[in-house]
Amino acid sequence: MFIFKNADEGNINFIRKLLFFHWPLAILILATGAFGILMLYSVAGGSMLPWAEPQLIRFIVGFGGMIIIGFIHIDFWRSLTIPAYIGSILLLIAVMFYGEGAGAQRWIDLKVIRLQPSEIMKVTLIMALTLYYSLIPISRKSSPLWLIPPLALIFLPTFLVFSQPDLGTSLLILISGFAVMFLAGVNIWYFIVGAFAGAGLVSAVFLSRNTSWQFLTDYQMGRIDVYLNPSLDPLGAGYHITQSKIALGSGGLSGRGFMQGTQSQLDFLPEKHTDFIFTTLAEEFGYFGSLGLLIIYALMVIFCLLSAAKNQYKFGALLTSGLAVMFFLYFFINMAMVMGLAPVVGVPLPLISWGGSAMLVLLGAFGLIQSAHVHQPRG
């Protein structure tokens, strides 16, 4: 069954696992999480409540979970792939009927935690694709017939999330999926042609405007319009981007000081504890702070990619690099959005924004990366 050099069959003991653990990555995660709690404390006007304290508790739980997942063998997680994928698809369907959320149905209230199935979906999709490409004959990976299953795996959740409607997350799922296919070595021409087709689709979306076959809702079209020209609606939808840029810019080189950001402290910033938390950070800690965070994120991605590149076990390598792409997309889209480079699509800043599902899922994903790193074949 195992076609590559197998991962060690659990022979390594606890001490060795501890030694193989990717500690630099874990420390960066810890630093980012701490940064996030600090910011939540600041945007609450110097208070642990309502955000910093619950976030701290969740982070501790999630970080513990990450270590536990990391210590469990990667093949155990591999064997869970198919039920996990099917489970998250079912949850996505369930959310359509029982979900709640402002304007869009995104959450399921499980009393203990408000679950956002689309967040879990991102990880399970990557796992499923990884499993697929670790199973099929290498020579078939680029043949058209063999492209159908992965595309089906990608488009099903993308469609479900898109219809919630949650444009940001559905794009994230779509791109992560394609990234795994790319990493698996699918012929590069598919992607080039696909990119052109995508561009064609985007123009079709714009052309469909005000016709009976309009793809996006007016709400989504409006957001894109305002992104293209924020001055269209400076007090309405464009307000977010305008105020966000003011906050970022006024931070300057060294920032206005912890808890001294007028934009966030005086509530000019929208969603300052969730999607726009980066603006508070940039306002209060300036260019040093924002560039610092970007470097931390970049290092985390580099660590993951290096680990994947060295990993001899294909499932582990592909999974690690796929999850790294997903993590990258999180912060890239969020930052590009608050800096006015991308439309406001509702993607949280990873490990920092207030919100349980996204953070727990991310920590879980890092647990999988750790597991793949710890349990890789070592010569």
Note whether 138 binds other proteins by CB under 8 A: yes
DSSP H helices, 136-236, are 144-162, 167-183, 188-207, 218-228
> Among residues 308 and 365, whose Cβ is nearest to other proteins?
308
Minimum distance from residue 341 beta carbon to other proteins (Å)? 6
Residue placing its CB nearer to other proteins in the complex, 187 or 214: 187
Query: Which helix (H) or strand (E) element contains residue 85?
Result: helix 81-98
Residue 99: how many CA atoms within 13 Å on its side-chain side? 24
Q: What's the gap between Cα 335 and its chain centre?
A: 12
Instruction: Find the shortest distance in angstroms from Cβ 336 to other proteins.
Output: 7
The smaller minimum CB distance to other proteins, of residues 92 and 349, is found at: 349
CB 376 within 8 A of CB 365: no
**Residue 140: exposure state from Cβ atoms within 10 A (0-12, 13-18, ≥19):** exposed
- From 8-16, 91-99, 288-296, 371-379, span contacting other proteins (CB under 8 A): 288-296
Nearer to other proteins, 63 or 331 (CB): 331
Residue 339 binds other proteins, judged by CB under 8 A: yes
Task: Name the one range near other proteins by CB under 8 A: 73-81, 123-131, 162-170, 295-303.
Answer: 295-303
Comparing C-alpha atoms, which of 147, 173, 112 is closest to residue 326? 173
- CA-angle at 180, arms to 196 and 170, nearest 5°: 65
Among 8, 71, 262, 271, binds other proteins (CB under 8 A): 262
DSSP string over 103-145: SS--BEE-SS-EE-HHHHHHHHHHHHHHHHHHHS-GGGTTSHH
If one asks whether residue 302 binds other proteins (CB under 8 A), the answer comes out as yes
User: Strand, coil or helix: what is 100?
Assistant: strand
Asked if residue 74 binds other proteins (CB under 8 A), the reply is no
Q: Which stretch binds other proteins (CB under 8 A): 22-30, 118-126, 177-185, 223-231?
A: 177-185
Buried b (16+ CB within 10 A) or exposed e, 180-195: bbbbbebeeeeeeeee
Q: Would you count residue 243 as binding other proteins (CB under 8 A)?
A: yes
Question: Total binding residues for other proteins by CB under 8 A?
Answer: 50
Residue 114 main-chain phi, psi, to 5 deg: -90, 110
In this chain, which of 146, 250, 258, 271 binds other proteins, going by CB under 8 A? 250
Contact status: 67 vs other proteins (CB under 8 A): no
Please state the closest distance from residue 319 (CB atom) to other proteins, in A: 12
The residue ranges that bind other proteins (CB under 8 A) are 3-4, 137-139, 179, 182-185, 243, 245-253, 262-263, 266-268, 282, 286-287, 290-291, 294, 297-298, 301-302, 305, 308-309, 312, 314, 317-318, 321, 325, 328, 332, 335-336, 339, 341
